[in-house]
Amino acid sequence: MPQGVGMDSSAVRKRMVQKLAEQGVRDPQVLAAMGAIERHRFVDSALANQAYEDTSLPIGLGQTISKPGVVSRMAELLRNGCTGRLGRVLEIGTGCGYQAAVLSMLADEVYSIERLRGLHDKARENLRLLRLPNLHLLFGDGMLGFAKGAPYAAIIAAAGGEAVPQAWVDQLAVGGRLVAPVATGGSLGAEQALVVIDKTAQGIRQTILEAVHFVPLKSGVA
Ligand code: SAH
């Protein structure tokens, strides 16, 4: 157990979940998943004592693990009040693999794609011991989505671009929902908001929610 987390991290996690509930997260399945996945295992041991604070933390290569508040908010939006599990989910931006692990508890299958080889490998390492058979890690450019797994009941992006790539909308199932940070036209794309896209038989419905701050969505692999 990394120093600073203590012998029993479940107590710290329980407090984190309580705070998330106080912040307005209601979905019991999301709260259960946040309580189950050990976030301290996904960050550098020097940062483990901060793992249950509502803060983003560096994970290397200039990227960050999202705040628990944001992960749970987006998961709740994605589930949209559904009572069972989600079907197939696509995550763009695996990073350290934390959110992917949370999603794996909420969905039948999760495909998570990362464009940086170093983080893709790190996520694989972080997730090895968890043995989540329904989580599939992919290395590639998530701007293209992952057509082989489509259609998806839900798509979630952990990096924000100028617009939602058309491929994501195309790969969303009818009745499916996409949640992503998107630039809102601030100078140099500095401002982002959470966007929800619902795909219905009648077409696309887009809702713009609160301001957020995510790392940039980039094309290609590195
Ligand atoms: N969900 C992650 C958050 C990682 S930060 C976690 O829990 O740790 C967002 C990640 O998106 C970064 O690792 C970044 O490299 C990745 N990313 C950015 N553009 C991408 C793209 N086009 N395809 C795949 N991943 C991308």
What is the rounded distance in angstroms from the CA atom of residue 8 to the CA atom of residue 92? Answer: 32
Spell 3-24 as b/e; 16+ CB within 10 A means b.
Answer: eebeeebeebbeebbeebbeee
Stated pTM of the model: 0.96
Q: Is the alpha carbon torsion for 127, 176, 156, 54 positive or negative?
A: negative
Give the number of C-alpha atoms closer than 13 A to the C-alpha of residue 100, restricted to the C-beta side.
32
| pLDDT for 14 | 96
| pLDDT for 28 | 97
Atom number of ligand 1 nearest to Cα 93: 11
Side chain identity at 160, as an amino acid letter? G
**68 C-beta closer than 6 A to ligand 1:** no
* Angle formed at CA 35 by CA 33 and CA 41, multiple of 5 degrees: 95
For 7-21, write each residue's pLDDT tens digit: 579 999 999 999 999
Atom number of ligand 1 nearest to Cα 144: 22
For 160-213, write each residue's pLDDT tens digit: 999 999 999 999 999 999 999 999 976 654 699 999 999 999 999 999 999 999
